[in-house]
Amino acid sequence: MNELCVWSLLLLLLAGSFSNGVGNNVNLSRPAVVNIGAVFTFDSTIGKASYYAIKQAVDDVNSNSSVLHGTKLHVEMRNSNCSGFHGIIGAVQFMEVNTVAVIGPQSSEVANAMTIVANELQVPLLSFGATDPTLASLQFPFFVRTTQSDLYQMTAVADIVEHYNWKQVIAIFIDDDYGRNGVAAMNDALAARRCKISYKAGIPPGPGISRGDIMDILVKLAVMDSRVIVLHVYPALGFTVFSVAQHLGMMDGGYVWIATDWLSSVLDSVQLSPEKMDSMQGVLVLRQHTPDSDRKRTFISRWNNLTDGSVGPNSYALHAYDSVWLVAHAIDSFLNQGHIISFSTNSKLRSGGGNLHLEAMSIFDGGKHLLRNILQSDLMGLTGRIKFNTDRSLFHPAYDVINIIGTGFRQIGYWSNYSGLSTLPPETFYSNLANFSIATQQLHSVVWPGNTVVKPRGWVFPNYGKLLRIGVPNRVGYREFVSKSLRTNTFKGFCIDVFTAAVNLLPYAVPYEFISYGDGKENPSYTGLINEVANGFFDGAVGDIAIARNRTKIVDFTQPFAASGLVVVAPFKKLNTGAWAFLRPFSPPLWGVIAAFFLVVGLVVWTLEHRINDEFRGTPKTQLITVIWFSLSTLFYSHRESTVSSLGRLVLILWLFVVLIINSSYTASLTSILTVQQMYSPIHGIETLKKIEEPIGYQVGSFAYHYLVEEIGIPESLLKPLGTPEIYSSQLELGPKNGGVAAVVDERPYVDLFLSSHCEFRVIGQEFTKSGWGFAFPRDSPLAVDLSTAILTLSENGDLQRIYDKWLSRSTCSSENAEIDSDRLHLQSFWGLFLVCGMTCFVALLIYFLQIMRKFCNSNPADPESESQRDSHSNRIQKLLSIIDEKEDPMKRRSKRRKTEGPEDEYASSELRNNDEPEMQRLDHTF
**pLDDT one-digit tens code per residue, 216-249:** 999 999 988 899 999 999 999 999 999 999 999 9
* Dist CA 694 CA 718 (whole Å): 6
Q: Give the pLDDT band (50/70/90) at residue 815.
A: very low
Residue 797's domain spans which residues? 468-564+782-807
Residues 112 and 245 in one domain: no
Q: Residue 349 pLDDT more than 80?
A: no
Which of 489-503, 764-778, 798-812 is modeled with the greatest confidence? 489-503
Q: Tell me: the pLDDT tens digits for 406-428?
A: 999 999 999 998 889 999 999 88
Contacts of 370 (CB under 8 A, 6+ apart): 100, 101, 124, 330, 331, 334, 339, 364
Mean pLDDT of the chain: 81
pLDDT at 453: 93
Residues 508 and 527 in one domain: yes
Model pTM?
A: 0.67
Q: Give the pLDDT band (50/70/90) at residue 597.
A: confident
Nearest to 788 by CA among 337, 266, 165, 321: 165
Q: Tell me: the pLDDT tens digits for 690-739?
A: 777 889 999 988 888 888 888 888 888 889 999 888 898 899 889 888 88
Q: Tell me: the pLDDT tens digits for 459-508?
A: 887 655 578 999 999 988 888 999 998 777 789 999 999 999 999 999 88
Residue 600: give its domain's CATH number: 1.10.287
Residues 134 and 266 in one domain: no
Q: Residue 448 pLDDT more than 90?
A: yes
Which of 317-321, 429-433, 549-553 is modeled with the greatest confidence? 317-321
Residues 115 and 200 in one domain: no
pLDDT at 637: 66
Contacts of 301 (CB under 8 A, 6+ apart): none
* Dist CA 783 CA 774 (whole Å): 13
**What is the per-residue burial (b if ≥16 Cβ within 10 Å, else e) of 349-371?**
beeeeeeeeeebbbbbbbbebbb
Q: Residue 169 pLDDT more than 70?
A: yes
Contacts of 761 (CB under 8 A, 6+ apart): 569, 570, 571, 572, 729, 732, 754, 755
Q: Tell me: the pLDDT tens digits for 606-654?
A: 777 767 766 666 677 777 877 777 777 777 766 666 776 778 778 888 8
pLDDT at 668: 80
**What is the per-residue burial (b if ≥16 Cβ within 10 Å, else e) of 229-255?**
bbbbbbbebbbbbbbbbbeeebbbebb
pLDDT at 530: 95
Is 923 inside a domain boundary? Answer: no
Contacts of 256 (CB under 8 A, 6+ apart): 164, 166, 227, 228, 229, 284, 448, 449, 456, 458
Contacts of 289 (CB under 8 A, 6+ apart): 315, 398, 399, 400, 414, 416, 425, 426
Residues 202 and 286 in one domain: yes
Residue 543: give its domain's CATH number: 3.40.190.10
* Dist CA 817 CA 815 (whole Å): 5
pLDDT at 439: 65
Is 799 inside a domain boundary? Answer: yes
pLDDT at 15: 34
Contacts of 637 (CB under 8 A, 6+ apart): 656, 659
* Dist CA 727 CA 716 (whole Å): 20
Residues 285 and 418 in one domain: yes
Higher per-residue pLDDT: 92 or 634: 634
For the chain, give the percent of residues with pLDDT over 70.
Answer: 79
Number of domains in the chain: 5
pLDDT at 437: 66
* Dist CA 774 CA 788 (whole Å): 9
Residue 405: give its domain's CATH number: 3.40.50.2300
Q: Tell me: the pLDDT tens digits for 855-882?
A: 777 765 544 444 454 456 666 666 666 6
Q: Tell me: the pLDDT tens digits for 526-581?
A: 999 999 999 999 999 999 999 988 899 999 999 999 998 888 888 876 555 566 66
| Domain end position, chosen among 674, 701, 716 | 674
Residues 229 and 171 in one domain: yes
Residues 616 and 508 in one domain: no
Q: Residue 600 pLDDT more than 80?
A: yes
pLDDT at 21: 38
Higher per-residue pLDDT: 535 or 850: 535
pLDDT at 559: 93
Contacts of 447 (CB under 8 A, 6+ apart): 281, 282, 403, 405, 453
Contacts of 281 (CB under 8 A, 6+ apart): 251, 404, 405, 406, 447, 449, 451
Q: How many CB atoms lie within 10 A of CB 821?
A: 15
Q: Residue 377 pLDDT more than 90?
A: yes
pLDDT at 351: 52
Q: Give the pLDDT band (50/70/90) at residue 429.
A: confident
pLDDT at 811: 58
Q: Residue 512 pLDDT more than 60?
A: yes
Is 900 inside a domain boundary? Answer: no
| Domain end position, chosen among 674, 708, 739 | 674
Q: What is the mean pLDDT of residues 671-695?
A: 71
Q: Residue 102 pLDDT more than 70?
A: yes
Is 868 inside a domain boundary? Answer: no
Q: Give the pLDDT band (50/70/90) at residue 849.
A: confident
| Domain end position, chosen among 723, 747, 770 | 770
Is residue 228 within 8 Å of 458, Cβ to Cβ? yes
Residues 298 and 215 in one domain: no
pLDDT at 19: 35
Q: Give the pLDDT band (50/70/90) at residue 348.
A: low
For the chain, give the percent of residues with pLDDT over 90.
Answer: 41
Q: Tell me: the pLDDT tens digits for 4-55?
A: 333 233 223 223 333 333 333 334 468 999 999 898 888 888 989 999 999 9
Is 766 inside a domain boundary? Answer: yes
Q: Residue 360 pLDDT more than 60?
A: no
Is 649 inside a domain boundary? Answer: yes
Size of the chain in residues = 927
**In 3-state terms, the chain is what percent helix, strand and coil (to 5)?**
45, 15, 35
Nearest to 424 by CA among 410, 409, 437, 412: 412
Residues 142 and 247 in one domain: no
Q: Give the pLDDT band (50/70/90) at residue 818.
A: very low
- The CA-atom distances, in angstroms, between 304 and each of 41, 272, 585 are 21, 18, 99
Which of 20-24, 268-272, 430-434, 902-906 is modeled with the greatest confidence? 268-272
* Dist CA 582 CA 674 (whole Å): 9
pLDDT at 879: 67
Is 274 inside a domain boundary? Answer: yes
Higher per-residue pLDDT: 601 or 403: 403
Q: What is the mean pLDDT of residues 909-914?
A: 44
Higher per-residue pLDDT: 344 or 182: 182
Residues 685 and 748 in one domain: yes
Is residue 540 within 8 Å of 533, Cβ to Cβ? yes
pLDDT at 215: 95
* Dist CA 176 CA 109 (whole Å): 7
Q: Give the pLDDT band (50/70/90) at residue 756.
A: confident
Residues 273 and 309 in one domain: no
pLDDT at 687: 77
Is 445 inside a domain boundary? Answer: no
Q: How many CB atoms lie within 10 A of CB 174?
A: 24
Contacts of 434 (CB under 8 A, 6+ apart): 418, 419
